[in-house]
Amino acid sequence: MITLGVFFGGMSVEHEISVISALQTIHAFPEFKYNIVPIYISKDGEWYTGPGLTAVQNYRNMSKLLSWCEKVYMTPNRGDFNLYRYKSNMFKGKVVTKIDVAFPILHGSYGEDGSLQGLFEMIGIPYVGSNLRASNIAMDKIATKYMCKANNIPCVDYMWTTDREWFEQHDAKKAEAEEIGYPLIVKPAGLGSSVGISKAANSEELDAAVELASKFTDKIIIEKMVQNLQEINCSVYGSYHDCHASVLEEPVRSGDILSYKDKYMGSGSAKGGAKGMKFGAKGGKFGSKSGSQGMSGSQRKCPADLPEDVTKYIQQLAIKTFKEMNATGIIRIDFMRDSVNGDVYVNEINAIPGSLAFYLWEATGKKFVDVLDEVINIAIKEAQEKHKLKVSFDQNIFAMGAGISPKLGGAKR
């Protein structure tokens, strides 16, 4: 049986959403299919494991839950797939278990942005989902724009600034932003969940919007606001040579901007959407009426209300984006459409989408567990392929002697 290390939580503003996504995924697997090892990363970056981590009700009392768990770590050494405990004793050795495949289900910083993926690359362990470069492109809204522009994928006009530039060269930077034309949307470049995002319809609001965004990051993106906005999301899963687009959904907004509340605290009555797994049978529901069901709890129209040719176009654009950015696993691409003139833009890419977009796959007629099996197999296959690649030449330039000097600048070119 494959031992699957499911990593979740993390040093991110989307910590809690990650817990929900991970537990939804863990409970989607039939029992005994995989040996699942939950690895919870605390907000301080400490790693814990223990069976109590898979029951949602235990998260009501974090300190109690963690007192039942063991603090663990992995080393960055290549080929060492062991999960180690900090406190070993005569009865318990240092190794908790060996992990065959790592499955990061984290959202936002240090988990979805390529950081953890970088650690997995160093170790050489197979891991589910996008590599560190694709993850980082998706996480950084500026890098996403570069990737789209370079590949003729439509995205809205924008400029970016650091907070320092904005305050030091205020008039020039503001003029640059105003050239795009009001109304504008201002966002921190590397966050998610609508945190720090606001609309600016005039000069005063622009200053206030940049001020707000600068509280969260030093890189700020200012972009044209799409009028008559219809938001459309599409999930893509697979690998470069074999990837599939889901049905489209249209999230329902309560205001101008799709808010944190809209995304995660809707009524859960997904209109016409996927029923099924809000929370798996064994997991217990996320009790409260406000419905903490991650992305699966938001209100949506599914499938989105669009003519067939537009649906097809957006699905093709989703596949193109997945391939051009070289993504792997399950991602979700969020589009914006002007419902009057029909223009479509890629807004953002989620390398590890909320609830792993299971509700979109179920609405597509695909069993979520089959999608999970496939992305786990892709992780194993891609790691095997990578293993075959050369990482060094069998040549020792030191033994060849010539032209190497310990003095700086002494090396021959």
Choose the stretch contacting ligand ADP; rule: CB under 6 A; options: 45-53, 189-197, 284-292, 322-330: 189-197
Among 2, 55, 142, 257, contact with ligand ADP (rule: CB under 6 A): 257
CB of 279 to ligand ADP, least distance (A): 23
Contacts of 390 (CB under 8 A, 6+ apart): none
In the numeric block, the tokens 């993926």 are attached to 117
Residue among 100 and 223 whose Cβ is closer to ligand ADP:
223
Q: At 256, phi and psi to the nearest 5?
A: -65, -35
Distance CA 308, CA 392 (A): 50
Residue among 27 and 300 whose Cβ is closer to ligand ADP:
300
* 249 near ligand ADP (CB under 6 A): no
CB of 232 to ligand ADP, least distance (A): 11
Number of residues that bind ligand ADP (CB under 6 A): 21
Q: At 351, phi and psi to the nearest 5?
A: -70, -30
Residue among 11 and 369 whose Cβ is closer to ligand ADP:
11
CB of 231 to ligand ADP, least distance (A): 5
Among 138, 226, 243, 378, contact with ligand ADP (rule: CB under 6 A): 226
Residue among 185 and 317 whose Cβ is closer to ligand ADP:
185
Distance CA 220, CA 190 (A): 9
Distance CA 241, CA 227 (A): 36
Contact map string, positions 121 to 160, toward ligand ADP, x by CB under 6 A: -----------------------------------x----
Tell me the pairing of strands 3-9 and 101-104: parallel
Choose the stretch contacting ligand ADP; rule: CB under 6 A; options: 82-90, 92-100, 193-201, 311-319: 193-201
Among 162, 194, 326, 377, contact with ligand ADP (rule: CB under 6 A): 194
User: Which contiguous run of DSSP H or E holds residue 231?
Assistant: strand 229-239
CB of 202 to ligand ADP, least distance (A): 16
Distance CA 84, CA 70 (A): 10
Position with the least CB separation from ligand ADP: 258
Residue among 38 and 354 whose Cβ is closer to ligand ADP:
354
* 11 near ligand ADP (CB under 6 A): no
Footprint of ligand ADP on residues 319-358 (CB under 6 A)? 334, 336, 347-348
DSSP string of 102-140? EEE---STTTTSSHHHHHHHHHT--BSS--HHHHHHHH-
Contact assessment for residue 263 and residue 253, using Cβ atoms and an 8 Å cutoff: no
Among 223, 249, 362, 382, contact with ligand ADP (rule: CB under 6 A): 223
Tell me the pairing of strands 47-49 and 229-239: unpaired
Contact assessment for residue 61 and residue 76, using Cβ atoms and an 8 Å cutoff: no
Distance CA 119, CA 12 (A): 17
Among 113, 231, 249, 362, contact with ligand ADP (rule: CB under 6 A): 231
361 forms beta bridges with none
* 14 near ligand ADP (CB under 6 A): no
* Three-state SS sequence of 15-61: HHHHHHHHHHHHHHCCCCCCEEEEEEECCCCCEEECHHHHCHHHHHC
Distance CA 245, CA 355 (A): 17
Choose the stretch contacting ligand ADP; rule: CB under 6 A; options: 62-70, 116-124, 218-226, 295-303: 218-226
Choose the stretch contacting ligand ADP; rule: CB under 6 A; options: 24-32, 40-48, 94-102, 185-193: 185-193
Q: Which residues bind ligand ADP (CB under 6 A)?
A: 156, 185, 187, 191-194, 197, 223-226, 229, 231, 253, 257-258, 334, 336, 347-348
